[in-house]
Structure 1
Amino acid sequence: MTITKVEPVPRLQRARLAVVLGSLAAFGPLTIDMYLPAMPGMARDLHTNTPMVQLTLTVFVIGLAVGQVVAGPLSDTWGRRRPLLAGLALYVAGSLWCALAPDVGWLIAGRAVQSLGAATSVVLSRAIVRDLFEGTAMTRFFSTLMLVNGAAPILAPVIGGQLLAVASWPALFLVLAAFGGVLSLVVALALPESLPAERRRAGFRDTFGAFRVLVTDRQYLRYVLTAALMFAAVFAYISGSSFVLQDVHGLSPQQFSLVFGANGLGIVLFGQLNGVLVGRVAGEHALLRTGLGVAVAGAAGVLLCATADLPLPLLLACLFVVVSMLGLVLANATSLALAGHARSAGAASSLQGLLQFLVAGLAASAMGLAGQSTAVPMAATMAVCAAAALAVLMVMRARRP
């Protein structure tokens, strides 16, 4: 393990960093969740079907994966600020493109551009945390980010649902463009470079050569795959819940947004609980294992509710259990994965993002092929992915020397 000594960050600066980096990390869930209540209406307005509207979500997730693989390693050579500002400009342009899209084909193209910009913000927020923190302090800061980052799943669908009551779906993308513009200004004025020149990679060959080290690091892959599969379980809910809860169970867009926001609140609460417990009551690995065990139990409950057609309140309770565990799982898995890769934090963060969103996109696509006439495809995908995450953590251990 390579340890790079970093200077302690003052408390006031930590608070400012949490707001800015949490907002950057929130680009993914914010851009996905805000338009979820509009998806059924978008299918009608654009004269297309449900799978095509869901494809806009899948394309965005794939773009998040690809964009992170490019932006992360480049930032190890160029520093964090220049790629970050370029990505934010691309995000604003993609959001405006989506708002003006005349049909679903143009919307898919706009989502691809938007996703590449969002990917830069997501991957570099993690890399900047690794630049500035290490050990348990890094885990606690990732937990703190859940307070800001977790607000996106809470507020985004609520804002989206309420905005749809007075405007059509293009207004959602105009709001996202404005958010990207404001954050671009904040980063330009208030976020200093976190990777000094002496800690940067010598060139692109050296930067991309870091991937060879990462893909042979069994412990790194163990935690990255665990996080990716758990995220896929929650992403199955993100992708399918708008249709399951609105079309199958009859919730209005406003009711759905409140349910979705309540589950986002669970992510925040358990993220903060993790920050309190780690290093005091239990270590990262123990908390990670506990969170996955609870998530598997909750996913089994979701599958039982779907197959036995149990009452909606019970289904919602089980969904809350699964989704809220993401706040605990991601903070610990990310910290454990990045701990030994300080000099290649951008590459390590990008590979984590690639696997996380690639696995999630494949899971959502497989679920979409099964249809959305019942909750069973969503429930089965959540159960399989959560169980696989726990299996990877328990089975894929480092080889003894």
Structure 2
Amino acid sequence: AQNIQQFVAFRLIQGIAGAGGIVIARSIATDKFSGKDLAKMLAIIGAINGIAPVVAPIIGGVFTEAIGWQGIFIILLVLGVLLLIGCMRFRESLPAENRLATKWADTFNSFKVVLRNKQYVCYVLQLAFAQGVLFAYIASSPFIIQQHYGYSPFAFSICFSINAIAIGGAAAFSVKFRWPANGTLVGCMGMLIFSLLECSALALGCSFWIYELLLIAVLFMMGMTFTTSTALAMECERTNAGTASALLGAVCFSFGGIVSPLVGIGNILVSTGVIFVICSFCSLSCILLALGRRRTKLYFAFSTSQKR
């Protein structure tokens, strides 16, 4: 790249290409599994997708010190080659009898079909607002931990790693629920409660340890919803799995991109806490709309009876 315009353009193409892996992974899982098995498989995918944005900056920071920022792109090139070799062994996961011959126009029309499914849309929005919490955390934590609390980059990396483990552990724990909707409800309610506590603590100038412990709780609850809501959303649109997966990823990452700069408005401690609360509240509202009052009561009753 000879200038910043070329650099951004190439990165845009790289991002579009990289999005394929996220979309296709969920589509393959939906093709091959259903019900509880689908939730377990999406738990693995959700754990990877949840941890990756958190761990990647740590790994990138380590390599940048050793080989410079230009060297990062050599590593990405090597990863790209390995992925290309792996894709050569890929086989279509959807049985031949279930495949449809579609045109580009049909592909775009399928988005309209998927968007008419109100329950699917609610699940996607729930995930998108949860993703807003994640990206608000990613955008604000370097400034809060390093500038406000005065910790070193190394200490910040350790905190980032611990938080990533919390997200991954939550994704794995979420499969313990007999019904995915219960996991999403519990996760959303817990996320809102701990976000309120985190917002209050930051506004009152809490210590670092209170901030970090509450943050781990927020991220754990958020991680629970990633897996369960993805399973619920994909189950709603099995016949349009590719389109549903693409729309899910696009909306979630768009929300993350919109939310990230908002933490810089005014006092970053207050703005981060407020965004946590708003996104958590909207996330809970979306899952309640998806399930409906009667269904929500049934899910909780089912969960209670199973525990007994």
Matched, 1:195 2:94: yes
Counterpart code for 1:395: L
Residue of structure 1 in register with 2:26 after alignment? 126
Where in structure 2 are the equivalents of 1:181-220 lying within 5 Å?
181-189=81-89, 191-204=90-103, 205-220=105-120
Quickly say closer, same or farther: Cα 1:225–1:150, change in 2 above 3 A.
closer
Give the Å deviation of 1:228.
Answer: 0.8
By percentage of residues, which structure has more helix? 2
Aligned counterparts of 1:374 and 1:302: Cα–Cα separation in 2 = 13
- Per-residue CA distance 1:317-347 (angstroms, 9 max, x = gap): 1111122223310111011111132221001
Give the Å deviation of 1:150.
Answer: 4.8
What is the percentage of aligned positions where both structures have the same residue? 28
Residue of structure 2 in register with 1:166 after alignment? 66
Which residue among 234, 237, 244 is the counterpart of 1:338? 234
Where in structure 2 are the equivalents of 1:28-39 lying within 5 Å?
none
Residue of structure 2 in register with 1:31 after alignment? none
Counterpart code for 1:333: S
User: Contact 2:120–2:237 at 8 Å: present in 1 too?
Assistant: no
The two structures, once aligned, show a CA RMSD in angstroms of: 2.3
Matched, 1:230 2:130: yes
Give the Å deviation of 1:122.
Answer: 1.0
Quickly say closer, same or farther: Cα 1:146–1:221, change in 2 above 3 A.
closer
User: Contact 2:123–2:290 at 8 Å: present in 1 too?
Assistant: no
Aligned counterparts of 1:257 and 1:196: Cα–Cα separation in 2 = 44
Aligned counterparts of 1:148 and 1:381: Cα–Cα separation in 2 = 24
Aligned counterparts of 2:107 and 2:3: Cα–Cα separation in 1 = 41
Aligned counterparts of 2:47 and 2:22: Cα–Cα separation in 1 = 16
User: Contact 2:127–2:225 at 8 Å: present in 1 too?
Assistant: yes
Aligned counterparts of 2:55 and 2:286: Cα–Cα separation in 1 = 32
Quickly say closer, same or farther: Cα 1:172–1:247, change in 2 above 3 A.
farther
Which residue among 279, 285, 298 is the counterpart of 1:391? 285
Matched, 1:246 2:140: no
Aligned counterparts of 2:29 and 2:165: Cα–Cα separation in 1 = 23
Q: What residue ranges of structure 1 are gaps of 5+ in the alignment?
A: 1-99
- Per-residue CA distance 1:352-383 (angstroms, 9 max, x = gap): 11211122222223334x15x63222222122
Which residue among 271, 274, 291 is the counterpart of 1:377? 271
Give the Å deviation of 1:217.
Answer: 0.9
Quickly say closer, same or farther: Cα 1:273–1:399, change in 2 above 3 A.
closer
Aligned counterparts of 1:389 and 1:354: Cα–Cα separation in 2 = 17
Aligned counterparts of 1:148 and 1:343: Cα–Cα separation in 2 = 25
User: Contact 1:151–1:268 at 8 Å: present in 2 too?
Assistant: yes
Quickly say closer, same or farther: Cα 1:361–1:178, change in 2 above 3 A.
same
With a CA cutoff of 8 Å and minimum separation of 6, indicate the structure with the bigger relative contact order.
Answer: 2
Quickly say closer, same or farther: Cα 1:261–1:157, change in 2 above 3 A.
farther
Aligned length: 293
User: Contact 2:25–2:45 at 8 Å: present in 1 too?
Assistant: no
Aligned counterparts of 2:59 and 2:274: Cα–Cα separation in 1 = 29
Quickly say closer, same or farther: Cα 1:110–1:314, change in 2 above 3 A.
farther
Residue of structure 2 in register with 1:359 after alignment? 255
Aligned counterparts of 2:23 and 2:146: Cα–Cα separation in 1 = 33
Aligned counterparts of 2:74 and 2:196: Cα–Cα separation in 1 = 39
Which residue among 198, 208, 214 is the counterpart of 1:318? 214
Quickly say closer, same or farther: Cα 1:155–1:246, change in 2 above 3 A.
same
Residue of structure 1 in register with 2:156 after alignment? 256
User: Contact 1:229–1:359 at 8 Å: present in 2 too?
Assistant: yes
Quickly say closer, same or farther: Cα 1:399–1:328, change in 2 above 3 A.
closer
Which residue among 136, 155, 160 is the counterpart of 2:36? 136
Give the Å deviation of 1:387.
Answer: 1.2
- Per-residue CA distance 1:29-69 (angstroms, 9 max, x = gap): xxxxxxxxxxxxxxxxxxxxxxxxxxxxxxxxxxxxxxxxx
Residue of structure 1 in register with 2:299 after alignment? none
Matched, 1:278 2:174: no
Aligned counterparts of 2:73 and 2:153: Cα–Cα separation in 1 = 17
Residue of structure 2 in register with 1:348 after alignment? 244
- Per-residue CA distance 1:195-245 (angstroms, 9 max, x = gap): 244323332233322222211111111111111111111111112222222
Quickly say closer, same or farther: Cα 1:148–1:216, change in 2 above 3 A.
closer
Give the Å deviation of 1:106.
Answer: 4.3
Residue of structure 2 in register with 1:18 after alignment? none
TM-score (ref. length: structure 1): 0.67
Give the Å deviation of 1:101.
Answer: 6.6
User: Contact 2:127–2:252 at 8 Å: present in 1 too?
Assistant: yes
- Per-residue CA distance 1:137-167 (angstroms, 9 max, x = gap): 1011111334544553564233223223323
Counterpart code for 1:388: C
User: Contact 1:143–1:327 at 8 Å: present in 2 too?
Assistant: no
